[in-house]
Amino acid sequence: MLLIAVPAFAGEPIWTTARDGAGDVRTAEFTIADTRCAYETMADVCTMDRVLEHLLGVDVHTTKGTFQDVTFTEEFFPVGEVKSRYHRTLDGSARIEWTLISGKQKRHDGFWQVKPDGRVLFQNVIQAKSRLHQPLLRRIQIRTMAAIVQSVQSTCK
């Protein structure tokens, strides 16, 4: 397993990347003043759709208590429009987990965890269906995760 840690300037996310047979694991850790806003932005798919620029639309199939079955339509350069269906579990205040059910990737799972001290942990695990596509998917993951963190930081100042 290869592990890369990228140092950050004060206030910027600390990025960690690991690669192994299960795909690319990318983690961001950052602080935010309004932790409630950070959680709610990612928990509410309608807010996500409004705040995250790469999202073109959200289809909610089921919402039952802490469970969501949703399809996100996203746009990524250079692949264009991508639809992915996820099962998401929310704890109501601090943690959101998602698992890819269907889409172009073999795997896209992760979590968003808000800590009481103002830290947010954001992790994505991705794996392409073909090893040939993994480098492209990795570049999309890096760009998109950074954009999500930046959008939430701008929204939840």
pLDDT in tens, 7-62: 444 468 999 999 877 799 999 999 999 999 999 999 999 999 999 999 999 999 99
Burial 105-135 (b: 16+ CB within 10 A, else e): bbbbbbbbbbeeeeebebbbbbbbeeeebbe
pLDDT of residue 57: 96
Q: Which helix (H) or strand (E) holds 135?
A: helix 134-155
Taking CB atoms within 8 Å and a gap of at least 24, the contacts of 12-15 are 13/146, 13/149
Domains of the chain: 2-155 (3.30.530.20)
Sign of CA dihedral 3, 74, 122, 119: positive
Unique residue bearing structure tokens 């999500």: 148
Closest to 122 measured CA to CA, from 52, 57, 56, 69: 52
Q: pLDDT exceeding 90 applies to what percent of the chain? A: 85
Between CA 67 and CA 141, with CA 120 as vertex, the angle to 5 degrees is 75
CB contact at 8 A, 128 and 106: yes
pLDDT at res. 11: 63
Q: What are phi and psi of 142, to 5 degrees?
A: -60, -50
pLDDT of residue 22: 79
pLDDT tens sequence across 130-145:
989 999 999 999 999 9
Helix (H) / strand (E) element for 150: namely: helix 134-155
Query: What global pTM score does this model have?
Result: 0.90
